[in-house]
Structure 1
Amino acid sequence: MGERLVVLIGPTAVGKTKMSIELAKRLNGEIISGDSMQIYKGMDIGTAKIKPEEMEGIPHHLIDIKDPAESFSVAEFQQLVRPLIREIARRGRLPMIVGGTGLYIQSVIYDYHFSDAPSDETYRRHLQHIAQENGEMVLYEKLKDVDPKSAERIHPHNVRRVIRALEVYHCTGKTITEWQKTETPELLYDAVIVGLTMEREQLYQRINERVDQMVAEGLLEEVRALYKRGLRDCQSIQAIGYKEIYAYLDGHLSFEEAIEQLKQNSRRYAKRQLTWFRNKMAVRWFDMTDFSKFAEKRDEILQYIEGKLQQKTNI
Protein backbone atom coordinates (compact mmCIF):
# COMPACT_ATOMS: atom_id res chain seq x y z
CA MET A 1 0.00 0.00 0.00
CA GLY A 2 1.03 3.60 -0.48
CA GLU A 3 0.85 6.70 1.68
CA ARG A 4 -1.74 7.24 4.38
CA LEU A 5 -4.62 9.34 3.11
CA VAL A 6 -7.92 10.65 4.44
CA VAL A 7 -10.76 11.26 1.99
CA LEU A 8 -13.76 13.35 3.08
CA ILE A 9 -16.69 13.29 0.69
CA GLY A 10 -20.37 14.15 0.65
CA PRO A 11 -23.00 16.13 -1.21
CA THR A 12 -22.93 19.88 -1.71
CA ALA A 13 -23.79 22.00 1.40
CA VAL A 14 -23.45 19.09 3.87
CA GLY A 15 -20.65 20.81 5.84
CA LYS A 16 -17.45 19.30 4.36
CA THR A 17 -15.46 22.55 4.46
CA LYS A 18 -16.00 23.21 8.17
CA MET A 19 -15.42 19.57 9.09
CA SER A 20 -12.27 19.32 6.96
CA ILE A 21 -10.65 22.27 8.77
CA GLU A 22 -11.51 20.83 12.18
CA LEU A 23 -10.07 17.44 11.22
CA ALA A 24 -6.97 18.84 9.50
CA LYS A 25 -6.07 20.89 12.59
CA ARG A 26 -6.17 17.77 14.76
CA LEU A 27 -4.58 15.37 12.28
CA ASN A 28 -1.73 17.64 11.09
CA GLY A 29 -3.34 17.56 7.67
CA GLU A 30 -3.09 19.45 4.41
CA ILE A 31 -6.17 19.67 2.21
CA ILE A 32 -6.35 18.84 -1.49
CA SER A 33 -9.56 20.11 -3.08
CA GLY A 34 -11.53 17.29 -4.71
CA ASP A 35 -13.84 19.67 -6.53
CA SER A 36 -13.78 19.97 -10.31
CA MET A 37 -14.80 23.65 -10.32
CA GLN A 38 -12.83 25.19 -7.43
CA ILE A 39 -9.74 24.91 -9.62
CA TYR A 40 -10.95 28.00 -11.54
CA LYS A 41 -9.81 31.51 -10.63
CA GLY A 42 -12.54 34.10 -10.22
CA MET A 43 -15.22 31.48 -9.60
CA ASP A 44 -15.37 31.80 -5.84
CA ILE A 45 -18.96 32.44 -4.81
CA GLY A 46 -20.71 30.02 -7.17
CA THR A 47 -18.40 27.13 -6.27
CA ALA A 48 -18.64 27.85 -2.49
CA LYS A 49 -14.84 28.10 -2.42
CA ILE A 50 -13.29 28.31 1.03
CA LYS A 51 -12.30 31.87 1.96
CA PRO A 52 -8.67 32.48 3.08
CA GLU A 53 -9.83 33.51 6.57
CA GLU A 54 -11.73 30.20 6.93
CA MET A 55 -8.62 28.11 6.26
CA GLU A 56 -7.24 28.77 9.76
CA GLY A 57 -3.70 28.32 8.50
CA ILE A 58 -4.34 24.88 6.96
CA PRO A 59 -2.59 24.61 3.55
CA HIS A 60 -5.01 24.07 0.65
CA HIS A 61 -4.03 22.71 -2.76
CA LEU A 62 -5.65 22.70 -6.23
CA ILE A 63 -7.70 25.84 -5.72
CA ASP A 64 -7.38 28.70 -8.26
CA ILE A 65 -4.97 26.90 -10.59
CA LYS A 66 -6.79 27.40 -13.90
CA ASP A 67 -8.31 30.23 -15.89
CA PRO A 68 -12.05 29.71 -16.55
CA ALA A 69 -11.32 29.61 -20.30
CA GLU A 70 -9.21 26.45 -19.83
CA SER A 71 -10.53 22.91 -19.74
CA PHE A 72 -9.67 20.40 -17.03
CA SER A 73 -9.98 16.63 -17.12
CA VAL A 74 -10.13 13.72 -14.73
CA ALA A 75 -6.79 12.50 -16.08
CA GLU A 76 -5.19 15.89 -15.38
CA PHE A 77 -6.58 15.88 -11.85
CA GLN A 78 -5.10 12.42 -11.31
CA GLN A 79 -1.69 13.56 -12.63
CA LEU A 80 -1.63 16.57 -10.29
CA VAL A 81 -2.92 14.95 -7.12
CA ARG A 82 -0.84 11.80 -6.88
CA PRO A 83 2.53 13.63 -6.68
CA LEU A 84 0.92 16.09 -4.23
CA ILE A 85 -0.06 13.25 -1.91
CA ARG A 86 3.55 11.99 -1.95
CA GLU A 87 4.93 15.47 -1.33
CA ILE A 88 2.60 16.19 1.62
CA ALA A 89 3.37 12.78 3.16
CA ARG A 90 7.12 13.38 2.74
CA ARG A 91 6.76 16.57 4.78
CA GLY A 92 5.33 14.47 7.61
CA ARG A 93 1.80 15.85 7.14
CA LEU A 94 -1.37 13.88 6.44
CA PRO A 95 -2.82 14.39 2.93
CA MET A 96 -6.61 14.89 2.94
CA ILE A 97 -8.74 14.98 -0.20
CA VAL A 98 -11.95 16.90 0.44
CA GLY A 99 -14.72 17.37 -2.09
CA GLY A 100 -17.79 16.25 -3.91
CA THR A 101 -16.58 15.34 -7.41
CA GLY A 102 -16.66 11.58 -7.04
CA LEU A 103 -15.14 10.57 -10.36
CA TYR A 104 -12.13 12.84 -9.79
CA ILE A 105 -11.47 11.44 -6.32
CA GLN A 106 -11.99 7.86 -7.47
CA SER A 107 -9.50 8.39 -10.29
CA VAL A 108 -6.79 9.29 -7.78
CA ILE A 109 -7.25 6.70 -5.09
CA TYR A 110 -7.84 3.73 -7.39
CA ASP A 111 -5.56 2.43 -10.10
CA TYR A 112 -7.40 3.65 -13.20
CA HIS A 113 -5.49 4.25 -16.41
CA PHE A 114 -7.33 7.07 -18.16
CA SER A 115 -4.67 7.35 -20.82
CA ASP A 116 -5.78 3.91 -22.04
CA ALA A 117 -9.30 5.17 -22.74
CA PRO A 118 -9.59 5.51 -26.51
CA SER A 119 -10.45 8.88 -28.03
CA ASP A 120 -11.19 10.34 -31.43
CA GLU A 121 -11.03 14.13 -31.62
CA THR A 122 -12.70 14.37 -35.04
CA TYR A 123 -15.66 12.30 -33.88
CA ARG A 124 -15.85 14.33 -30.65
CA ARG A 125 -16.03 17.58 -32.64
CA HIS A 126 -18.71 16.03 -34.86
CA LEU A 127 -20.80 15.25 -31.75
CA GLN A 128 -20.23 18.75 -30.34
CA HIS A 129 -21.48 20.16 -33.64
CA ILE A 130 -24.62 17.96 -33.46
CA ALA A 131 -25.30 19.21 -29.92
CA GLN A 132 -24.94 22.84 -31.01
CA GLU A 133 -27.10 22.42 -34.11
CA ASN A 134 -29.82 20.09 -32.81
CA GLY A 135 -29.66 20.33 -29.01
CA GLU A 136 -28.09 18.12 -26.37
CA MET A 137 -31.09 15.78 -26.06
CA VAL A 138 -30.33 14.36 -29.53
CA LEU A 139 -26.99 13.08 -28.23
CA TYR A 140 -28.57 11.83 -25.02
CA GLU A 141 -31.15 9.81 -27.00
CA LYS A 142 -28.28 8.35 -29.04
CA LEU A 143 -26.52 7.36 -25.81
CA LYS A 144 -29.71 5.74 -24.49
CA ASP A 145 -29.77 3.57 -27.63
CA VAL A 146 -26.16 2.36 -27.43
CA ASP A 147 -25.44 2.49 -23.69
CA PRO A 148 -28.61 2.69 -21.52
CA LYS A 149 -26.62 2.00 -18.32
CA SER A 150 -24.42 5.07 -18.80
CA ALA A 151 -27.49 7.08 -19.81
CA GLU A 152 -28.99 6.28 -16.40
CA ARG A 153 -25.89 7.60 -14.65
CA ILE A 154 -25.18 10.65 -16.79
CA HIS A 155 -27.35 13.75 -16.64
CA PRO A 156 -28.81 14.63 -20.08
CA HIS A 157 -27.33 18.13 -19.89
CA ASN A 158 -23.84 16.93 -19.00
CA VAL A 159 -22.87 17.06 -22.67
CA ARG A 160 -19.18 16.45 -22.02
CA ARG A 161 -19.81 13.09 -20.34
CA VAL A 162 -22.48 12.09 -22.88
CA ILE A 163 -19.98 12.77 -25.68
CA ARG A 164 -17.22 10.88 -23.85
CA ALA A 165 -19.43 7.80 -23.46
CA LEU A 166 -20.39 7.92 -27.16
CA GLU A 167 -16.75 8.42 -28.13
CA VAL A 168 -15.62 5.31 -26.21
CA TYR A 169 -18.39 3.30 -27.86
CA HIS A 170 -17.45 4.66 -31.29
CA CYS A 171 -13.76 3.78 -30.79
CA THR A 172 -14.11 0.35 -29.17
CA GLY A 173 -17.58 -0.99 -29.91
CA LYS A 174 -17.91 -1.38 -26.13
CA THR A 175 -20.02 0.75 -23.81
CA ILE A 176 -18.03 2.82 -21.32
CA THR A 177 -19.52 0.56 -18.60
CA GLU A 178 -18.11 -2.54 -20.33
CA TRP A 179 -14.80 -0.81 -20.95
CA GLN A 180 -14.50 0.14 -17.28
CA LYS A 181 -15.22 -3.47 -16.26
CA THR A 182 -12.02 -4.52 -18.00
CA GLU A 183 -10.23 -2.27 -15.55
CA THR A 184 -9.73 -3.91 -12.16
CA PRO A 185 -9.07 -0.97 -9.87
CA GLU A 186 -6.97 -1.40 -6.75
CA LEU A 187 -6.82 1.04 -3.87
CA LEU A 188 -3.44 2.77 -4.17
CA TYR A 189 -3.26 4.26 -0.69
CA ASP A 190 -3.85 3.43 2.94
CA ALA A 191 -7.02 5.45 2.58
CA VAL A 192 -9.70 6.12 5.17
CA ILE A 193 -12.83 7.25 3.32
CA VAL A 194 -15.35 9.21 5.37
CA GLY A 195 -18.66 10.54 4.06
CA LEU A 196 -20.96 13.19 5.50
CA THR A 197 -24.67 12.79 4.90
CA MET A 198 -27.84 14.45 6.09
CA GLU A 199 -31.58 13.90 6.14
CA ARG A 200 -32.78 15.00 2.71
CA GLU A 201 -35.18 17.79 3.71
CA GLN A 202 -32.53 19.36 5.94
CA LEU A 203 -29.91 19.11 3.20
CA TYR A 204 -32.25 20.69 0.65
CA GLN A 205 -32.99 23.53 3.06
CA ARG A 206 -29.24 24.12 3.54
CA ILE A 207 -28.76 24.14 -0.24
CA ASN A 208 -31.54 26.71 -0.69
CA GLU A 209 -30.08 28.89 2.07
CA ARG A 210 -26.60 28.59 0.59
CA VAL A 211 -27.86 29.80 -2.80
CA ASP A 212 -29.54 32.81 -1.14
CA GLN A 213 -26.25 33.54 0.61
CA MET A 214 -24.36 33.31 -2.72
CA VAL A 215 -26.73 35.86 -4.23
CA ALA A 216 -26.21 38.16 -1.22
CA GLU A 217 -22.42 37.79 -1.56
CA GLY A 218 -22.48 38.89 -5.21
CA LEU A 219 -22.98 35.81 -7.38
CA LEU A 220 -24.57 37.87 -10.16
CA GLU A 221 -21.55 40.21 -10.35
CA GLU A 222 -19.15 37.26 -10.34
CA VAL A 223 -20.94 35.56 -13.25
CA ARG A 224 -21.39 38.84 -15.13
CA ALA A 225 -17.59 39.35 -15.08
CA LEU A 226 -17.15 35.98 -16.86
CA TYR A 227 -20.01 36.80 -19.23
CA LYS A 228 -18.40 40.13 -20.16
CA ARG A 229 -15.15 38.30 -20.97
CA GLY A 230 -17.10 36.50 -23.66
CA LEU A 231 -16.61 33.08 -22.04
CA ARG A 232 -19.23 30.85 -23.57
CA ASP A 233 -18.58 27.25 -24.57
CA CYS A 234 -16.25 26.50 -21.68
CA GLN A 235 -16.31 23.66 -19.22
CA SER A 236 -16.34 26.17 -16.34
CA ILE A 237 -19.55 27.87 -17.50
CA GLN A 238 -21.40 24.52 -17.47
CA ALA A 239 -21.08 24.53 -13.67
CA ILE A 240 -24.23 24.82 -11.59
CA GLY A 241 -24.52 28.43 -10.48
CA TYR A 242 -23.04 29.80 -13.69
CA LYS A 243 -25.15 28.31 -16.48
CA GLU A 244 -28.38 29.44 -14.78
CA ILE A 245 -27.17 33.05 -14.41
CA TYR A 246 -25.96 32.96 -18.02
CA ALA A 247 -29.53 32.01 -19.04
CA TYR A 248 -30.72 35.11 -17.14
CA LEU A 249 -28.06 37.36 -18.74
CA ASP A 250 -29.03 35.96 -22.16
CA GLY A 251 -32.63 36.97 -21.46
CA HIS A 252 -34.01 33.41 -21.38
CA LEU A 253 -35.04 33.51 -17.70
CA SER A 254 -36.00 36.15 -15.16
CA PHE A 255 -33.53 36.51 -12.27
CA GLU A 256 -36.03 34.84 -9.90
CA GLU A 257 -36.44 31.90 -12.32
CA ALA A 258 -32.66 31.55 -12.67
CA ILE A 259 -32.20 31.39 -8.89
CA GLU A 260 -35.05 28.89 -8.53
CA GLN A 261 -33.47 26.75 -11.25
CA LEU A 262 -30.09 27.03 -9.54
CA LYS A 263 -31.59 25.75 -6.29
CA GLN A 264 -33.35 22.90 -8.07
CA ASN A 265 -30.22 21.90 -10.03
CA SER A 266 -28.15 21.98 -6.82
CA ARG A 267 -30.66 19.74 -5.02
CA ARG A 268 -30.65 17.26 -7.92
CA TYR A 269 -26.87 17.32 -8.01
CA ALA A 270 -26.68 16.53 -4.28
CA LYS A 271 -28.96 13.55 -4.84
CA ARG A 272 -26.77 12.30 -7.71
CA GLN A 273 -23.63 12.76 -5.61
CA LEU A 274 -25.00 10.61 -2.80
CA THR A 275 -26.09 7.88 -5.21
CA TRP A 276 -22.69 7.91 -6.90
CA PHE A 277 -20.67 7.69 -3.68
CA ARG A 278 -22.86 4.90 -2.31
CA ASN A 279 -22.42 2.84 -5.48
CA LYS A 280 -18.76 3.48 -6.20
CA MET A 281 -16.77 3.75 -3.00
CA ALA A 282 -16.42 1.97 0.34
CA VAL A 283 -17.44 4.85 2.58
CA ARG A 284 -18.07 5.09 6.32
CA TRP A 285 -21.00 7.52 6.58
CA PHE A 286 -21.66 10.00 9.38
CA ASP A 287 -25.01 11.75 9.67
CA MET A 288 -24.78 15.54 10.07
CA THR A 289 -28.52 16.24 10.27
CA ASP A 290 -28.29 17.69 13.80
CA PHE A 291 -25.70 20.41 13.20
CA SER A 292 -25.92 21.51 16.86
CA LYS A 293 -24.01 18.30 17.67
CA PHE A 294 -21.18 19.20 15.27
CA ALA A 295 -18.42 18.93 17.92
CA GLU A 296 -19.61 15.48 19.02
CA LYS A 297 -19.75 14.32 15.40
CA ARG A 298 -16.27 15.72 14.74
CA ASP A 299 -14.84 13.80 17.69
CA GLU A 300 -16.59 10.61 16.53
CA ILE A 301 -15.13 11.00 13.02
CA LEU A 302 -11.70 11.80 14.44
CA GLN A 303 -11.77 8.69 16.61
CA TYR A 304 -12.79 6.58 13.60
CA ILE A 305 -10.01 8.00 11.38
CA GLU A 306 -7.31 7.65 14.04
CA GLY A 307 -8.39 4.08 14.76
CA LYS A 308 -8.28 3.16 11.07
CA LEU A 309 -4.90 4.82 10.49
CA GLN A 310 -3.51 3.03 13.55
CA GLN A 311 -4.74 -0.32 12.19
CA LYS A 312 -3.08 0.37 8.85
CA THR A 313 0.20 1.29 10.57
CA ASN A 314 0.14 -1.98 12.52
CA ILE A 315 -0.50 -4.19 9.49
Structure 2
Amino acid sequence: MRAIQITEFGGPEVLTLTELPDPEPGAGELLVEVSRAGVNYADTHQAENSYLAPASLPLVPGMEIAGRTANGRRVVALTSSGGYAEKAVTAEPMAFEIPEGVSDEDALALIVQGATAWVLLRKSVRLEPGESVVVHAAGGGVGTLAVQLAKSFGAGRIIAVAGSEDKRKLALELGADATVDSSAADMTEALVEANGGKRVDTVLDMVGGRVTDESVRALAPFGRLAFYGMASRELPSPIQPSNLMRFSTTVGGMWLPHVWQLPGNVMKQAMDELFAMVAEGSLRPIQGGTYPLSEAREAHEALRSRTTVGKLVLDTRA
Protein backbone atom coordinates (compact mmCIF):
# COMPACT_ATOMS: atom_id res chain seq x y z
CA MET A 1 0.00 0.00 0.00
CA ARG A 2 1.04 3.64 -0.42
CA ALA A 3 1.81 5.50 2.79
CA ILE A 4 3.67 8.52 4.12
CA GLN A 5 6.59 7.43 6.29
CA ILE A 6 8.98 9.31 8.57
CA THR A 7 12.46 7.84 9.11
CA GLU A 8 13.91 10.88 10.89
CA PHE A 9 12.21 13.54 12.97
CA GLY A 10 11.89 17.07 11.64
CA GLY A 11 9.66 19.46 9.74
CA PRO A 12 7.46 18.82 6.69
CA GLU A 13 10.52 17.77 4.67
CA VAL A 14 10.69 14.40 6.52
CA LEU A 15 7.31 13.25 5.13
CA THR A 16 8.07 10.74 2.36
CA LEU A 17 5.72 8.75 0.12
CA THR A 18 6.62 5.05 0.10
CA GLU A 19 5.25 1.51 -0.34
CA LEU A 20 4.63 -0.52 2.82
CA PRO A 21 2.97 -3.85 3.66
CA ASP A 22 -0.70 -3.69 4.64
CA PRO A 23 -1.16 -3.43 8.43
CA GLU A 24 -2.55 -6.48 10.24
CA PRO A 25 -5.38 -5.90 12.75
CA GLY A 26 -5.10 -7.59 16.12
CA ALA A 27 -7.77 -8.63 18.58
CA GLY A 28 -10.36 -5.90 19.05
CA GLU A 29 -9.04 -3.91 16.10
CA LEU A 30 -10.51 -2.92 12.73
CA LEU A 31 -8.73 -2.71 9.39
CA VAL A 32 -10.01 0.36 7.55
CA GLU A 33 -9.60 1.06 3.84
CA VAL A 34 -8.92 4.78 4.18
CA SER A 35 -10.64 7.23 1.85
CA ARG A 36 -9.55 10.40 3.64
CA ALA A 37 -7.05 11.12 6.42
CA GLY A 38 -7.27 14.17 8.64
CA VAL A 39 -4.37 16.59 9.13
CA ASN A 40 -3.99 18.58 12.33
CA TYR A 41 -1.42 20.39 14.46
CA ALA A 42 -0.75 17.28 16.54
CA ASP A 43 0.58 15.62 13.37
CA THR A 44 3.16 18.38 12.92
CA HIS A 45 4.31 17.87 16.51
CA GLN A 46 4.38 14.09 15.98
CA ALA A 47 6.63 14.55 12.94
CA GLU A 48 9.20 16.46 14.99
CA ASN A 49 8.65 14.32 18.12
CA SER A 50 7.45 17.25 20.21
CA TYR A 51 3.99 15.80 20.88
CA LEU A 52 2.66 14.83 24.32
CA ALA A 53 3.01 11.13 23.42
CA PRO A 54 6.62 10.36 22.35
CA ALA A 55 6.99 8.76 18.92
CA SER A 56 9.42 6.14 17.64
CA LEU A 57 10.84 5.56 14.15
CA PRO A 58 10.03 4.55 11.49
CA LEU A 59 6.60 6.14 11.72
CA VAL A 60 3.54 6.54 9.55
CA PRO A 61 1.94 9.73 10.92
CA GLY A 62 -1.75 10.53 11.05
CA MET A 63 -4.30 10.03 13.80
CA GLU A 64 -7.64 10.54 12.01
CA ILE A 65 -9.08 8.29 9.32
CA ALA A 66 -12.35 7.88 7.46
CA GLY A 67 -13.25 4.94 5.23
CA ARG A 68 -14.79 1.49 5.17
CA THR A 69 -14.13 -1.70 7.09
CA ALA A 70 -13.95 -5.12 5.43
CA ASN A 71 -17.65 -5.70 6.12
CA GLY A 72 -18.64 -2.36 4.58
CA ARG A 73 -19.12 -0.21 7.68
CA ARG A 74 -18.46 3.47 6.97
CA VAL A 75 -16.50 4.81 9.93
CA VAL A 76 -14.42 7.69 11.17
CA ALA A 77 -11.77 6.72 13.70
CA LEU A 78 -8.77 7.75 15.74
CA THR A 79 -5.42 5.99 15.67
CA SER A 80 -2.19 6.54 17.58
CA SER A 81 -0.42 6.68 14.19
CA GLY A 82 -0.66 5.15 10.72
CA GLY A 83 -3.39 7.37 9.27
CA TYR A 84 -1.49 8.72 6.26
CA ALA A 85 -1.93 5.50 4.30
CA GLU A 86 -4.31 3.62 2.04
CA LYS A 87 -5.09 1.22 4.90
CA ALA A 88 -4.90 1.68 8.68
CA VAL A 89 -5.78 -0.13 11.89
CA THR A 90 -7.86 1.29 14.72
CA ALA A 91 -9.17 -0.02 18.02
CA GLU A 92 -12.89 -0.79 17.89
CA PRO A 93 -13.81 1.76 20.65
CA MET A 94 -12.07 4.51 18.65
CA ALA A 95 -14.33 4.06 15.60
CA PHE A 96 -17.70 5.75 15.06
CA GLU A 97 -20.30 4.98 12.41
CA ILE A 98 -20.73 7.90 10.00
CA PRO A 99 -24.46 8.57 9.59
CA GLU A 100 -26.23 9.42 6.36
CA GLY A 101 -26.01 13.10 5.55
CA VAL A 102 -22.45 13.45 6.87
CA SER A 103 -19.52 13.29 4.41
CA ASP A 104 -16.17 11.66 5.16
CA GLU A 105 -14.58 15.13 5.16
CA ASP A 106 -17.12 16.48 7.63
CA ALA A 107 -16.71 13.42 9.86
CA LEU A 108 -12.95 14.04 9.95
CA ALA A 109 -13.58 17.64 10.97
CA LEU A 110 -15.61 16.33 13.92
CA ILE A 111 -13.54 13.40 15.25
CA VAL A 112 -10.80 15.62 16.75
CA GLN A 113 -11.54 19.30 16.13
CA GLY A 114 -15.29 19.06 16.69
CA ALA A 115 -14.95 16.82 19.72
CA THR A 116 -12.23 19.09 21.09
CA ALA A 117 -14.45 22.18 20.77
CA TRP A 118 -17.37 20.31 22.37
CA VAL A 119 -15.30 19.05 25.33
CA LEU A 120 -13.62 22.44 25.85
CA LEU A 121 -16.99 24.19 26.11
CA ARG A 122 -18.93 21.47 27.95
CA LYS A 123 -16.26 20.06 30.29
CA SER A 124 -13.23 22.37 30.48
CA VAL A 125 -14.62 25.89 30.78
CA ARG A 126 -18.21 24.68 31.44
CA LEU A 127 -19.71 27.56 29.52
CA GLU A 128 -22.86 28.96 31.13
CA PRO A 129 -25.60 30.68 29.11
CA GLY A 130 -24.91 34.39 28.81
CA GLU A 131 -21.16 34.15 29.45
CA SER A 132 -18.55 35.64 27.14
CA VAL A 133 -16.12 33.30 25.38
CA VAL A 134 -12.89 34.06 23.54
CA VAL A 135 -11.95 31.69 20.74
CA HIS A 136 -8.30 31.97 19.70
CA ALA A 137 -7.35 30.67 16.23
CA ALA A 138 -10.99 31.15 15.31
CA GLY A 139 -10.35 30.41 11.63
CA GLY A 140 -8.91 26.96 12.31
CA GLY A 141 -10.52 23.55 12.53
CA VAL A 142 -11.38 23.78 16.23
CA GLY A 143 -12.03 27.52 16.16
CA THR A 144 -14.61 27.55 13.37
CA LEU A 145 -16.58 24.82 15.15
CA ALA A 146 -16.11 26.33 18.63
CA VAL A 147 -17.62 29.64 17.48
CA GLN A 148 -20.71 27.84 16.18
CA LEU A 149 -21.05 25.56 19.21
CA ALA A 150 -20.65 28.46 21.64
CA LYS A 151 -23.53 30.18 19.86
CA SER A 152 -25.67 27.03 20.09
CA PHE A 153 -24.77 26.61 23.78
CA GLY A 154 -26.03 30.10 24.62
CA ALA A 155 -22.87 32.20 24.91
CA GLY A 156 -23.64 35.84 25.63
CA ARG A 157 -20.77 37.27 23.58
CA ILE A 158 -18.33 35.42 21.33
CA ILE A 159 -15.00 37.08 20.61
CA ALA A 160 -13.08 35.50 17.75
CA VAL A 161 -9.32 36.04 17.47
CA ALA A 162 -7.73 35.45 14.06
CA GLY A 163 -4.79 36.65 12.02
CA SER A 164 -6.40 37.77 8.79
CA GLU A 165 -9.35 39.88 7.74
CA ASP A 166 -10.85 36.94 5.83
CA LYS A 167 -10.70 34.68 8.90
CA ARG A 168 -12.26 37.34 11.10
CA LYS A 169 -15.01 37.87 8.53
CA LEU A 170 -15.69 34.13 8.46
CA ALA A 171 -15.91 34.05 12.27
CA LEU A 172 -18.56 36.77 12.18
CA GLU A 173 -20.50 34.81 9.57
CA LEU A 174 -20.36 31.74 11.84
CA GLY A 175 -21.81 33.62 14.81
CA ALA A 176 -19.06 35.63 16.51
CA ASP A 177 -20.12 38.99 17.95
CA ALA A 178 -16.70 40.66 17.77
CA THR A 179 -13.23 39.93 16.43
CA VAL A 180 -9.67 40.69 17.46
CA ASP A 181 -6.54 40.63 15.33
CA SER A 182 -4.18 37.95 16.69
CA SER A 183 -1.26 40.34 16.16
CA ALA A 184 -2.69 42.85 18.67
CA ALA A 185 0.16 44.42 20.62
CA ASP A 186 -1.66 43.94 23.94
CA MET A 187 -4.06 40.98 23.86
CA THR A 188 -5.40 41.74 27.33
CA GLU A 189 -6.46 45.24 26.32
CA ALA A 190 -7.84 44.02 22.96
CA LEU A 191 -10.01 41.30 24.56
CA VAL A 192 -11.41 43.60 27.22
CA GLU A 193 -12.19 46.24 24.60
CA ALA A 194 -13.91 43.63 22.38
CA ASN A 195 -16.02 42.63 25.39
CA GLY A 196 -17.38 46.14 25.85
CA GLY A 197 -14.83 47.15 28.47
CA LYS A 198 -15.45 44.12 30.69
CA ARG A 199 -13.14 41.22 31.46
CA VAL A 200 -14.03 37.94 29.73
CA ASP A 201 -15.54 34.83 31.31
CA THR A 202 -13.93 32.04 29.29
CA VAL A 203 -11.03 31.58 26.85
CA LEU A 204 -10.19 28.69 24.52
CA ASP A 205 -6.47 28.89 23.77
CA MET A 206 -4.31 26.78 21.48
CA VAL A 207 -1.66 29.40 20.73
CA GLY A 208 0.56 29.55 23.83
CA GLY A 209 3.29 31.97 24.78
CA ARG A 210 2.42 35.66 25.09
CA VAL A 211 -1.16 35.06 23.94
CA THR A 212 -1.83 32.73 26.89
CA ASP A 213 -0.24 35.08 29.41
CA GLU A 214 -2.21 38.10 28.22
CA SER A 215 -5.45 36.12 27.92
CA VAL A 216 -5.19 35.00 31.54
CA ARG A 217 -4.86 38.64 32.55
CA ALA A 218 -8.11 39.40 30.67
CA LEU A 219 -10.17 36.94 32.72
CA ALA A 220 -12.98 38.18 34.95
CA PRO A 221 -13.42 36.92 38.52
CA PHE A 222 -14.14 33.18 38.30
CA GLY A 223 -13.10 33.23 34.64
CA ARG A 224 -11.69 30.07 33.05
CA LEU A 225 -9.02 29.49 30.41
CA ALA A 226 -8.63 26.09 28.73
CA PHE A 227 -5.24 25.48 27.11
CA TYR A 228 -5.28 22.76 24.44
CA GLY A 229 -2.42 23.45 22.02
CA MET A 230 0.77 25.38 21.33
CA ALA A 231 0.61 26.57 17.72
CA SER A 232 3.11 29.35 18.43
CA ARG A 233 5.54 26.72 19.77
CA GLU A 234 6.20 29.16 22.63
CA LEU A 235 5.59 28.20 26.24
CA PRO A 236 3.52 30.58 28.36
CA SER A 237 4.95 31.91 31.60
CA PRO A 238 4.64 29.68 34.68
CA ILE A 239 1.34 30.23 36.46
CA GLN A 240 1.66 31.62 39.97
CA PRO A 241 -1.10 30.45 42.36
CA SER A 242 -1.23 33.87 43.96
CA ASN A 243 -2.08 35.39 40.58
CA LEU A 244 -4.95 32.93 40.18
CA MET A 245 -6.31 33.96 43.56
CA ARG A 246 -6.17 37.62 42.61
CA PHE A 247 -9.17 37.26 40.28
CA SER A 248 -10.39 33.78 41.35
CA THR A 249 -9.42 32.50 37.92
CA THR A 250 -8.99 28.93 36.71
CA VAL A 251 -6.45 27.79 34.12
CA GLY A 252 -6.63 24.20 32.88
CA GLY A 253 -5.40 21.99 30.08
CA MET A 254 -7.22 19.54 27.84
CA TRP A 255 -5.91 16.60 25.82
CA LEU A 256 -8.62 14.70 23.97
CA PRO A 257 -7.36 11.13 24.70
CA HIS A 258 -8.18 11.67 28.38
CA VAL A 259 -11.88 11.92 27.48
CA TRP A 260 -12.02 8.12 27.23
CA GLN A 261 -11.25 7.93 30.95
CA LEU A 262 -14.40 9.84 31.89
CA PRO A 263 -17.52 7.93 32.93
CA GLY A 264 -20.58 7.96 30.72
CA ASN A 265 -18.85 7.56 27.33
CA VAL A 266 -18.40 11.30 26.86
CA MET A 267 -16.80 10.90 23.43
CA LYS A 268 -19.89 9.13 22.11
CA GLN A 269 -22.08 11.86 23.58
CA ALA A 270 -20.00 14.46 21.77
CA MET A 271 -19.97 12.63 18.45
CA ASP A 272 -23.71 11.85 18.55
CA GLU A 273 -24.54 15.52 19.16
CA LEU A 274 -22.08 16.76 16.55
CA PHE A 275 -23.25 14.30 13.89
CA ALA A 276 -26.88 15.27 14.54
CA MET A 277 -26.10 18.99 14.26
CA VAL A 278 -24.25 18.54 10.96
CA ALA A 279 -26.99 16.31 9.52
CA GLU A 280 -29.68 18.86 10.41
CA GLY A 281 -27.63 21.79 9.11
CA SER A 282 -27.11 23.66 12.41
CA LEU A 283 -23.33 23.03 12.41
CA ARG A 284 -21.12 23.60 9.35
CA PRO A 285 -17.62 22.12 9.32
CA ILE A 286 -15.36 24.39 7.28
CA GLN A 287 -13.25 22.49 4.76
CA GLY A 288 -9.84 24.06 4.28
CA GLY A 289 -8.53 21.93 1.44
CA THR A 290 -7.98 18.38 0.21
CA TYR A 291 -4.43 17.33 -0.71
CA PRO A 292 -3.34 14.16 -2.52
CA LEU A 293 -1.54 11.72 -0.20
CA SER A 294 1.67 12.48 -2.09
CA GLU A 295 1.38 16.14 -1.02
CA ALA A 296 1.30 15.56 2.73
CA ARG A 297 4.40 17.73 3.02
CA GLU A 298 2.58 20.65 1.41
CA ALA A 299 -0.38 20.14 3.76
CA HIS A 300 1.93 20.37 6.79
CA GLU A 301 3.65 23.45 5.40
CA ALA A 302 0.27 25.13 4.90
CA LEU A 303 -0.90 24.22 8.40
CA ARG A 304 2.28 25.42 10.08
CA SER A 305 2.08 28.72 8.22
CA ARG A 306 -1.20 29.38 10.09
CA THR A 307 -2.78 30.69 6.90
CA THR A 308 -5.25 27.83 6.45
CA VAL A 309 -8.93 27.91 7.31
CA GLY A 310 -10.94 25.01 8.70
CA LYS A 311 -10.10 21.32 8.22
CA LEU A 312 -7.32 19.94 5.99
CA VAL A 313 -7.54 16.37 4.70
CA LEU A 314 -5.49 14.00 2.56
CA ASP A 315 -7.06 12.03 -0.28
CA THR A 316 -5.39 8.62 0.05
CA ARG A 317 -6.64 7.57 -3.40
CA ALA A 318 -4.94 10.47 -5.21
Instruction: Give the TM-score of the pair, scaled to structure 2.
Output: 0.33
Instruction: Looking at secondary structure, tell me which structure has more helix per residue.
Output: 1
Instruction: Looking at secondary structure, tell me which structure has more strand per residue.
Output: 2
Instruction: Give the TM-score of the pair, scaled to structure 1.
Output: 0.34
